[in-house]
């Protein structure tokens, strides 16, 4: 039931932020569309922990997104330097790392965050390990440092920051 309420509130918030309208008839249509969407989602039995991520700490999610955006900028700069270098100093490598997240959602966010960061791609992900392709040694060391792993673990409710 909590997932259903969270879904309805989330859909309503997105609808209202995107429309920005306060005309009573339009707001009523928005509420109706949210209720129909939630009803269809319940009938399809797709309202679960995967579809509605109740595992995440909302307060830390915002700071994580800002931190991740900065990491993407830094990694993009590193990749740009490699690509524009006349010698193109590539040193591609495959590596394995073990995620410490306790939820499937946490592991998905971690694997996708690695892939979003230029110079690294999560090739294979399972409960115990990630297989990652890194563009060079610096990208590999960035993953091995574990900062991203710790930050995503901090997103999980009850996780350390």
- Give residue 158's pLDDT: 58
Give the DSSP H or E segment for 97. strand 93-97
pLDDT mean by block of 10 residues, the chain; 161 residues:
82 88 90 93 78 66 91 94 88 94 87 94 94 94 93 76 51
- Give residue 44's pLDDT: 87
**Tens digit of each residue's pLDDT (9 = 90 or more) over 10-57:** 888 888 888 888 899 999 999 999 999 999 988 888 777 665 565 667
Domains of the chain, residue spans: 2-43, 58-155
Whether this model's pTM surpasses 0.75: no
Question: Which token pair is 98?
Answer: 């073990």
Can you tell me the distance from the alpha carbon of 101 to that of 93, in angstroms, rounded to the nearest whole number? 24
- Give residue 5's pLDDT: 85
């Amino acid at each position: 039931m909590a997932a259903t309420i969270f879904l309805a509130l989330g859909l309503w918030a997105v609808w209202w932020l995107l429309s920005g309208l306060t005309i009573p008839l339009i707001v009523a249509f928005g509420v109706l569309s949210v209720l129909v969407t939630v009803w269809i989602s319940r009938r399809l039995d797709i309202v679960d922990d995967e579809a509605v991520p109740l595992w995440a700490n909302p307060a830390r999610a915002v700071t994580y997104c800002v931190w991740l955006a900065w990491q993407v900028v830094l990694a993009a700069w590193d990749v740009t330097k490699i690509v524009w270098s006349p010698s193109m100093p590539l040193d591609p490598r495959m590596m394995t790392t073990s995620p410490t997240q306790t939820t499937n959602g946490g592991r998905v966010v971690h694997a996708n965050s690695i892939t979003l960061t230029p110079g690294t791609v999560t090739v294979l992900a399972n409960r115990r390990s990630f297989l990652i392709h890194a563009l060079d040694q610096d990208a590999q060391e960035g993953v091995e440092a574990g900062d991203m792993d710790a930050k995503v673990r901090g997103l999980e409710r009850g996780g350390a920051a």
